[in-house]
Each structure stands twice: as structure tokens, then as C-alpha cells.
Structure 1
Amino acid sequence: MAAVSELRPRHRDAEIRWPRRQGDGIHIGVNAVTIRPGTLDDWPAATRLFEFAFGHRSSDEVLAAWSGEIGDSMVVATDTGSVVGQTMDLPMTTTVPGGAQLTGRGISLVAVAPTHRRRGLLRAMFTEQHKRIAASGVPLALLTASEASIYGRFGYGAATIESRVRIDRRLAKMHAGVPDPGGVRVVSVAEATELVPAIYERWQALTPGAQVRPKAMLDRYLANADKPGSTPPYAIVHRDGYALFARRTKDNEGIARVFEFRAVTADAHAALWRILLSLDLVTYVEAVQSPEDPLQYMLTDSRLVEVDEREDALWVRIMDVPAALEARTYSADLDVVVEVRDGFLDAGGTFALTVADGKARCVRTEAPAQVSLDLAVLGSLYLGAHRARVLAAAHRLWAKDSETLRVFDLAFQTDRAAEMGWGF
């Protein structure tokens, strides 16, 4: 299922009509649009709005899986009883650098009807939703964004990067030193449903940005994909990894589209790719990778790994700055005062961040700042996918001098690339 959508261009602040409270809801504009908690009675209308947003219909099984995860977290905007906006969130546990598992909420199924754009509905719904999330005490909120211009104003920063690649299988050959470990099996969808979760769990525990995935979400997805009329999924499994892919033909060329590839070890990575690059009746293999994926260096012709797109995936809003910064590990000792600006919930402040032997201590302080940045920028730095020195060059981060920037940049680097685990 696609992740987050909004059915309108981005707000212009001058056009936002700020909400006023009346009774149990929040009312916006002359038509008295009400912002309120959603109920199960709103679910059919909410799913219709979501399907309209993304232009496709989801199966009853997939919708049932989502409703079971979301529970009572829905916030809706209604106009004379009709749902014209919605946002929801589900429990989300995410690996952060160093391996800690941090709890949070994953924002999803966000939509505003085109009939009600530019009335401040998204901001009003997000305000109610994020105040509730803040009150719960979780340190992170996560989402995926259909438009990159929308969520920075709410303190979210793009925190993982992925590349969509295409490889001409006919020409791809491995370097002589790349192992051929074998151990890969072709399995059915039913077998994949049983084998994949345990491998995913091992990969998730190692990978910054990867989230715990409820088994029901994978079960429902694979079951729906294997129905008559759908493109059936195929699965290959190694004891330390797996690949899920679909096959299609376009212009008489066979294409294998890998929609999930997870390898816990380098041997599993090599073994799975050897199989994918030897599929009969396939001209191109398409996949989504971390920019640090080693495949291009495994091939004698690295140019065969053609990057079609490079884009953000997981977005992070840090709800509790000290808790989040103390949860991850760091690559250099650090003693710096950081000013964090939050124009949405005013949850920023000035913090003394001290790191020794990879472990951090973060407390509020009144000392003058040595580094200053928006909360969204801190979200982009948090998992290690972006560099502080690059963001400073882009005028998104200020440091008092070059040495402060150098050490700050070094501290936030990680030894494993951040990747989003699954789309929500």
C-alpha cells in the first residue's frame, strides 16, 4: 500500500485560516469543517478518500490489515458529516544507529480532498495528532512523503535515501573474486510467508531506519498479490536473505522487478544477486537499493547498474530531542551546544550534547549555541544518511567555526547505511 498522500499543492501560509475550538471539535472557515478523532464508523469514507488520493483500490484483506494496526488513532476533518480529510498513525519500532530499538508512531493514510484545499486542514489535523503523540512520550514520529515540499514545515526531515536501479541482465558478469556461496531456494508464496519474517527481523535489528513489520502486513500483501488477475510474486530465499519480485513483459523484453531485497550477510547478498542476474527470459532486473549497496562494485561493468531515480524514503520528526539523541551511538566524541528550532509544536530548545565512547548525554541548557539547525534538519541527520557539512553548505545548518562543524559532522556518521524497512 502506498504511504502518505495529500491531494493538493503545498500550503501558502497567507491562505491558511487558523482553527478555533467550538465544543468537542475544531472548526475551520466559513463552512465549519470539524477536526475530531475518527471512529470505526469513519473507516469506509476514509478508505474511499485514500483510494481517490492514490488512484487505486486496495483489497478488503489489505484494508483489514491496516484497520487492525491503526486502531483508534485516526483524526478526520468533516464537512456536514462527510470526511474531507484524514490522518492516522500506527505503532512503529525503528532501529537507530548502534542497534537500539526506538518506539514511535508511523503517520500514514494522509489525505485532504481537493474540494477543501488551502483551508489549513492538514495543519489542523496534524496539530491534534502530534499533540497526542507528544503526550504519549514516544521519541520519534515517522512517515513517507508523496511530495517532498509538504512535511518539512512540520519538523520532518528526509532521513533515508534509496536508488531505483535497472540492470541489463544479459551483460552482467561478476568479478572473479565475488563468491558464489549458493544456498538459494525458489519457494512458494506460502513458504515465503513463513520464512521471510524471521530473516527480515534479523536484518531490521542491524539496519538504522528499518522498522519492525507486523506479520499481518506481509501476509495480507502476499496473499493479495497472489490472487488471480494480479502479477504473482516470486520468492527466492537464502538462510540469511531473500528477494521478492514480480515479472512482466514490455516491448518483448522480460523485466523482473524486485520489490523487496534483504540480506543479513555479504554471502547472502552475493548469492541472491547471482540468481536474479541469471533468470531466463529476463532482459532487465529492476530494484530499489541503498546508495551504498555494493552490487555495482561486484560487476565487471559497474555502469550496468543504471540509476533511474534517487529519492527520499523515510522521514523522521524527533518528538523528544534528548531521548532520541541519547538512544543512538556516535562515531566521534563531541561536546557541543545545539539550538534546535521547531516552528510547528515549539518542541525545540537549546541542548548540551556530550558524547564519549559513542554514548551521548543530552540536556537542556541556557549556554550559547555552537550549532543551530531546524528540527527537520536534525531529523535528516539522525540516522546517518545525510552529512552535516553538506547541509551546512546548503545553509540549512550553522556552526560557529569549521572545527565545530567537522567534529559534529564526524560524530553523526554511521558504519551501516540507513534504509527504510517497509512502506507504510
Structure 2
Amino acid sequence: MSTDSKIAIRTATEADWPAIQLLDSTGFGFHPSAADKTLTRALYKPEDIVVATDGDQVVGLAIEFDMEFTVPGGHQVPSRGITWVSVAPTHRRRGILRSMFTRLHQHIASSGAPLVALTASDARIYNRFGYGPATVSEGISLHRRFAEFRPEAPDASGVSITDAPTAATLLPDIYDRWRLATPGVQKRPQAHWDHTLADPSEHRADASGLFFLTHADGYVSYRHRTEGHDSIVEVDEFVALTTDVYAALWRTLCGLDLVTRIDARQHPEDPLRLMLTDYRLVRTTRRSDRLWLRIMDVPAALEAREYAADLDTVIAIEDPFLDAGGTFALTVRGGKATCTPTDAAARITMPSDVLSSVYLGAHQARTFSAAGRIQAADVLEIHRFDVAFGTARPAVLGYGF
């Protein structure tokens, strides 16, 4: 789709900020508080923002910014993030999003970043641009009063009740050690910490201010909310470097005697339900994608991570948006990969959004094969691919952006 000839795509200026914030508010349905505006101005500069204009009216925007996150094996990969993607409801179906994304991704490609990430408010938009959902989370609900831990479950000590000023001194270091070991977790800017720990009242949604439980190797931040006569704990963040700390934090949450229910978000592989005597007590309330990735440079991205098994294959990647695909020989030895262009016949063929989805290990090639989105020489080729792309720790999103 070509862009309407009246629409101009350009870099934003300081003078565009009021229009940018108005369009973002309209697109996402909220008015930013003073604290939100302060955070935005701290995180993003006008030169990071692409806008679409119709005359003097801003009718589209997207922000590109520096990001660093962990890939399997614990390596930190400098990447780019995209956020605040909006098109005015008055200017739909005019090619504005594609034009903005073309400009953004041309710049990202010139920067040499092998990966670009976003979080998607609409799952139908981004596949055509080569993005795939790369982490998964589940919303869970636990009736605390019936929670009883199995005798085999870890029973570590060391959890403390922590006030907000003390938490502000402890949480960033714990998070940073956790993100260095956890695929998908991003480096967190200080401005984001300042905003989170200031706990603006506008972000509480009729719940309490934040409470904190801390351990040397983990923490939980949570809120209280009333529902009729029941007190509900809503977990805001849950970070644990080990399964012992994970269990210790959950045991402490379950020791909040006046609480009826605990609502949280966790990875589908989290072991909580297996630690309890009643497996059914942990009820899954929703399942959702979190981090979306796009691989910009196939060899650089595949060589940046580590692997669980040796592998010899040839992969063909289809990338109609940027033409960054091709056919590549992928060889893994001792966890390290080499990936080079080749003229050999492909053993596995997939579009770039699928490769992006399996990259962190949250999705498996066999599932995409069953859906008809991966073609392979045989089922063993898919199996070997999945084994190699397996990870010791599940990939998760560190913070929303």
C-alpha cells in the first residue's frame, strides 16, 4: 500500500511533543500524568521519533530507542526497541504505518543492530513486518487460604518485609543480576526505576500503593485490592534468581493471613502448581504474548546466542518486508554457532517472524510445523532444531515498554 501523497514522514522536533502526546493518548485511551510525561521526556528524544504529518497535524508516530537484552547463554545483545506506535483514527488505510516502519527499519539496519523488539497491543499487526511473539506469560489466580506446600518443596529462609525507600536501594541490583541470567530481560533505565518506585497514584487502578518483599536474590512487589469482603493481592513484579528463592517468596505471599486470593503473572513453566498439594489450586486466568522480536541480521543474531545441542542444518528465511532473509548454513558445536550464507538446498524453511518467535526458546519449531508455517525435510530435522534451540531458563519480558 502506498502512502497518501499528502502525508509526510519525518523526524520529530521539540515542537511536536504536545501533538505526539495527544495522539498517543487517543490511540491508547489514557491521559498521561505529570509523572508519565516526565518519564517519557527522560527516555525518548525527538530524534528517536518518526512522525507522519498531514499539513501541520501529527497523524502517526513511532519511537525507536536503544535497548539491550539477554539472549540464551547470558550474552547481552545491543538492540533497538520500538514503542508508542500510533496512527490517528482519522487516517486509517493510507499506508502510514508501513511508511513509518520502512523508515525506522532502514535506520535500524544501518545501525547494525541484529535484533529489534516491541510489545504489541494488537497481535494482528506485526507479523507482516517480520515480528514474532518471543515470550509468553500466564495470568494465574491462587486461593491463598487453601495453599499448602508439599514437603518436598524448597523451604528457604531470608525473605524480609521491606519499605519503599529501602526497596529502591535493593531492587535495581537484584533485577540486574536476574536479567543477566534470563533470556528476554532488558537492561532497565534509571528513569524507569525512578518512575516505578515513585509509584504514581494514577497507576494504582483503585488498589493500594506498592508493598515489597525482598531476598538477597529476589523480590516481589505487590498491591492490595478489595473485592467485596475479600482482600486480593495483585503481584506487580516477581523476580527470583533461583527456585529456592522463588519458593521462599511464594511461601511468604501465602503467609499473608488476611488475604483471600493472590493474582500474578508468570511463565507457563513456573513450578508453583507442582509445589502445592493441590495441583488445581493455581488457576490459569489468561495466556498472552509479551516480548515480540524481529531478527534484522540472521547470522549475527544466531551467532549471538548459545545452544543446548550440536546442530548441522541449512535454513531458508523468507523476509518480504526488508529482504533480510536468505539461505544459511547453521552449524553448532559446543553451544556456539556459525551461520553463513550458502547455495546449498534448505533443510528447513520459515518466514522471518517464525524464526524470531523460536529464537529465545519460548516457542518450538514443531508447533509452527504443525501449523504449516515451517517446512522441513523430515520430522527429525525439526526435532534436532528444537533440541538445539532449547534453553536452561525460560525467556521472559523484564519490564513493559
Q: Same fold (TM over 0.5)?
A: yes
Of residues 366, 378, 386, the one that matches 1:401 is: 378
Q: What is the alpha-carbon root mean square deviation over aligned residues? A: 1.4
Of residues 258, 278, 284, the one that matches 2:255 is: 278
Written as runs of structure 1 = structure 2, the 5 A alignment for 1:194-205 is 194-205=169-180
CA distance in 1 between counterparts of 2:336 and 2:77 reads: 15
Output the amino acid matched with 1:259: D
- SS of alignment partner, residue 57 of structure 1: coil
Match of 1:316 in 2: 293
- SS of alignment partner, residue 329 of structure 2: strand
Give how far 1:374 is off.
0.3
Match of 1:362 in 2: 339
Match of 2:231 in 1: 254
Give how far 1:380 is off.
0.4
CA distance in 2 between counterparts of 1:89 and 1:200 reads: 24
Match of 1:9 in 2: none
> What are the superposed Cα offsets for residues 168-188 of structure 1, whole Å, 9 maximum, x if unpaired?
011111111223322111222
Give how far 1:66 is off.
2.4
Written as runs of structure 1 = structure 2, the 5 A alignment for 1:17-416 is 18-19=2-3, 28-29=4-5, 32-71=6-45, 72-225=47-200, 231-416=208-393
Aligned length: 398
CA distance in 2 between counterparts of 1:105 and 1:327 reads: 15
Q: Which sits farther off after the overlay, 53-62 or 32-41?
A: 53-62
Q: Is the Cα–Cα contact under 8 Å of residues 51 and 58 in structure 1 kept in the other structure?
A: yes
CA distance in 2 between counterparts of 1:243 and 1:166 reads: 16
CA distance in 2 between counterparts of 1:335 and 1:98 reads: 19
CA distance in 2 between counterparts of 1:58 and 1:83 reads: 18
CA distance in 2 between counterparts of 1:35 and 1:408 reads: 41
Q: Is the Cα–Cα contact under 8 Å of residues 143 and 314 in structure 1 kept in the other structure?
A: yes
> What are the superposed Cα offsets for residues 392-415 of structure 1, whole Å, 9 maximum, x if unpaired?
111110111222222112111112
Give how far 1:230 is off.
7.1
- SS of alignment partner, residue 105 of structure 2: helix
- SS of alignment partner, residue 63 of structure 1: helix
Q: Is the Cα–Cα contact under 8 Å of residues 225 and 231 in structure 1 kept in the other structure?
A: no
Q: Is the Cα–Cα contact under 8 Å of residues 107 and 143 in structure 1 kept in the other structure?
A: yes
- SS of alignment partner, residue 53 of structure 1: helix
CA distance in 2 between counterparts of 1:423 and 1:252 reads: 31
- SS of alignment partner, residue 337 of structure 1: strand
Give how far 1:389 is off.
1.0
> What are the superposed Cα offsets for residues 33-84 of structure 1, whole Å, 9 maximum, x if unpaired?
1111112221221112112222222222232222222222100011121111
Q: Is the Cα–Cα contact under 8 Å of residues 368 and 374 in structure 2 kept in the other structure?
A: yes
CA distance in 1 between counterparts of 2:237 and 2:191 reads: 16
Structure 2 unmatched runs, 5+: none
Cα–Cα, structure 1 residues 174 and 230, in superposed 2: closer, same or farther, change >3 Å?
closer
Q: Is the Cα–Cα contact under 8 Å of residues 189 and 226 in structure 1 kept in the other structure?
A: no
Tell me the percent identity. Answer: 49
TM-score (normalizing by structure 1) = 0.91
Output the amino acid matched with 2:16: D
- SS of alignment partner, residue 175 of structure 2: helix
Q: Is the Cα–Cα contact under 8 Å of residues 62 and 224 in structure 1 kept in the other structure?
A: no
Give how far 1:226 is off.
5.5
Q: Which sits farther off after the overlay, 380-389 or 37-46?
A: 37-46
CA distance in 2 between counterparts of 1:148 and 1:129 reads: 20
CA distance in 2 between counterparts of 1:358 and 1:216 reads: 36
CA distance in 1 between counterparts of 2:169 and 2:18 reads: 31
TM-score (normalizing by structure 2) = 0.96
Q: Is the Cα–Cα contact under 8 Å of residues 167 and 306 in structure 1 kept in the other structure?
A: yes
CA distance in 2 between counterparts of 1:403 and 1:289 reads: 31
